[in-house]
Amino acid sequence: MSIEIERTFLVRGEEWKTWSKPVLLRQGYLSSAPERVVRVRIEGDEAMLTIKGRNVGAARNEWEYPIPIKDASVLLDQLCEQPLIEKYRYRIEYRGFIWEIDEFFGENTGLVVAEIELQSEDQAFDKPDWIGDEVTHDPRYFNANLIRHPYRNWQE
């Protein structure tokens, strides 16, 4: 088991797209309950089963296991809650940290967020110019919630 400490931000502009090549991600949830999220993900030519506990601030317990892509495809298509989360992920190194930028499509077209993993919740880091408002504690932006309340259905 590991502890994931992650902060999430909205992304401004499109300058960041020129710094990395995207990788397609398809992911779905066998359980999207906040106290036990169970996710299946295919990223490129790898597949993972991930189990996460409830968020406590920006941290939560996480277990992650590789699974065969064929099994992941069946789980995504036949057992996972719908709709699936589909997005392009860009990984950008900036001043010693890796930022993961997710550009959603499908039911969540138009949503772009950046995540940074930290060693502690109060760890200092520099933000690139394209980082906008922090949404770490806004549950609407949790991927597991985007299946029930897709971004395209949000009202301003």
Q: Is 30 left (phi over 0), alpha (psi -120 to 50) or beta?
A: alpha
Q: Which amino acid is at 29?
A: Y
Closest CA to 57 of 112, 99, 2, 3: 3
Q: Is 65 a catalytic residue?
A: no
Distance CA 46, CA 131 (A): 28
Active-site residue, selected from the candidate residues 29, 65, 141, 151: 29
Active site residues: 29
